[in-house]
Amino acid sequence: MSEFVAQLTEWREAVLERLPPWWLRAAVAILIVIGILLPLAFTQTSGFIDATIRALAFVVMALGLNIVVGFAGLLDLGYVAFYALGAYSMGWFASGFFFKADVHVLTAALPTAQGIHLNFLLVLLAAALICAVAGALIGLPTLRLRGDYIAIVTLAFGEIIGTVAINGTDIHLPGGQTLTAGNLGIPAVDLPYFPGVGKFELLNLRAWYWLIFAILLLVLFVNIRLRDSRIGRAWVALREDEVAAISMGIPAVRTKLLAYAIGATFGGMSGAFLGAYYTTVNAGQFAFSFSIFVLAMIIVGGLGSIWGAVLGALLLSYINFYLIPDVLNSVPSSLGLDFSLTDLSFGIFGFLLVLVMVLRPQGLFPERRRTLELTQEVDRDQAMLKEPT
């Protein structure tokens, strides 16, 4: 792996020098076309496409977390909360879970089916809204905190949501309905259905791929627009020097909450998609390690860099969902060793993270601003805000 990282670095720098200024636009256009055509090169049930779908969902997550951690500099260790809320939105509003309800909106579910069955896009919207509100709420108690303390509070919220998800079987809503199905999982989540297009099938992964690819393009677009806007500048200014930023007229509270809310929105959208893709919403999915996994993606890619987040998320996802389980898993046994490589996933990720930190602490695809921060010592006297009261 170290060779790969070094090679990538070297290669990138050599190529960048020779490229014309419009190379990025051209590259993006080509990538989009390749992205659209990609699944046609594989079978409908290809394991690689399955891994790619999950990888793209994680890219969306990474882009969301990158806004909070990368742009605004708020270290959020509880990102799993929004995965959970997004996935539960799908579980609640597109399955037979609320069996006493009977709501059907633009869905392929039989009219006689119990539960709430909303159209996929409606649930996606609901998940985005729920997570935006939850993101801002979780952000509220962190506003007076800085650095590591933000991490501790968000970590706690992530754990709270995970625990509530597991114990949701004991939380009774009015009417005797439980909040979640705990570790059993909410089964048989509706497959997405688009009027005029048709219903998704589990044995045809192409539609799923195109769906998450479209969500990804949307999220990417929003990310880029926000980065190069008044809002994006305000986030970076707050990250760089909060005292100076608020003295320049940036409302710290609103701007930070906005970062939390938008970051959470993307996490929720991705979570909703994954809820539908896995067709089950199981409390066991929402572990702390998930938050770290997404954080590792944006650190490996380069904090604050959109393309870094994309690259980091793809890299770690492919390693996790494809390379380790599908390609290399049998390597130890073929060497006569009695374990499977999936048992070592976390060890491998830890090793990769250390490697990146040692060889390229700014990440694979660093934001130009971060590069400076890491190469020069930034002397910032934050004492002014630590005003004892």
Partner 1 sequence: MSSAEASPTTTTAPPRVPAIMRAEHVTKEFGGLVAVSDVSIDIPTRSIVSIIGPNGAGKTTLFNMLTGLYKPSAGRISLEDREITGKRPDIITSLGVARTFQNIRLFRAMTAVENVVVGRHARMRAGVWGSIIRPPGVRREERAARDRSREILEYVGLEHSQFDQLAGNLSYGDQRRVEIARALAADPTLLLLDEPTAGMNPQESDRLTDFMRKLRDDLDLTILLIEHDMRVVMGISERITVLDLGERIAEGPPAEIRENSRVIEAYLGKQDER
Binding mask 253-292 for partner 1 (x = CB under 8 A): -----x---x------------------------------
Q: Is beta strand 172-173 parallel, antiparallel or unpaired with respect to 193-194?
A: unpaired
CB of 232 to partner 1, least distance (A): 7
**Which of 141, 147, 198, 251 is the binder for partner 1 (CB under 8 A)?**
251
Q: Which stretch in 33-41, 53-61, 177-185, 368-376 sits in contact with partner 1 by CB under 8 A?
A: 368-376
**Which of 67, 85, 236, 298 is the binder for partner 1 (CB under 8 A)?**
236
103 interacts with partner 1 by CB under 8 A: no
User: CB of 263 within 8 A of CB of 76?
Assistant: yes
User: CB of 266 within 8 A of CB of 129?
Assistant: no
CB of 313 to partner 1, least distance (A): 21
| HSE value, Cβ hemisphere, 13 Å, CA-based, for 198 | 5
Residue 8 or residue 222: which is nearer to partner 1 going by CB?
Answer: 222
CB of 306 to partner 1, least distance (A): 14
- Rounded Cα distance, 125 and 172, in Å: 26
**Which of 113, 133, 179, 243 is the binder for partner 1 (CB under 8 A)?**
243
Residue 231 or residue 274: which is nearer to partner 1 going by CB?
Answer: 231
143 interacts with partner 1 by CB under 8 A: no
- Rounded Cα distance, 212 and 22, in Å: 27
144 interacts with partner 1 by CB under 8 A: no
* Chain-centroid distance, C-alpha 154: 16
Q: How far apart are the first and last CA of the chain?
A: 51
250 interacts with partner 1 by CB under 8 A: yes
Binding mask 55-94 for partner 1 (x = CB under 8 A): ----------------------------------------
**Which of 121, 244, 358, 359 is the binder for partner 1 (CB under 8 A)?**
244
- Rounded Cα distance, 380 and 368, in Å: 19
Residue 127 or residue 324: which is nearer to partner 1 going by CB?
Answer: 127
240 interacts with partner 1 by CB under 8 A: yes
In 3-state terms, what secondary structure has residue 172?
strand
Q: How many residues bind partner 1 (CB under 8 A)?
A: 39
199 interacts with partner 1 by CB under 8 A: no
226 interacts with partner 1 by CB under 8 A: yes
**Which of 90, 245, 303, 316 is the binder for partner 1 (CB under 8 A)?**
245
| Positions of E strands within the chain | 94-95, 102-104, 115-117, 172-173, 177-178, 193-194, 198-199
Measured from the Cβ of residue 207, the count of other Cβ atoms closer than 10 Å reads: 17
Segment 344-363, which members bind partner 1 (CB under 8 A)? none
User: CB of 349 within 8 A of CB of 294?
Assistant: no
CB of 247 to partner 1, least distance (A): 5
**Which of 229, 330, 333, 342 is the binder for partner 1 (CB under 8 A)?**
229
- Rounded Cα distance, 75 and 155, in Å: 10
376 interacts with partner 1 by CB under 8 A: yes
Which two three-digit tokens encode residue 193? 């259905």
Return the exposure string of 266-275: e unless at least 16 CB atoms fall within 10 Å of the residue's CB, then b. Answer: bbbbbbbbbb
CB of 287 to partner 1, least distance (A): 31
CB of 84 to partner 1, least distance (A): 24
- Nearest CA to 313 out of 325, 332, 326, 296 is that of 296
Distances (CA, A) of 145 to 153, 221, 247, 286, 337: 9, 31, 18, 25, 48
- Rounded Cα distance, 108 and 119, in Å: 8
Which residues are at the interface with partner 1 (CB under 8 A)?
Answer: 221-222, 225-226, 229-234, 236-237, 240-241, 243-252, 258, 262, 368-370, 372-373, 376, 378, 380-381, 384-385, 387-388
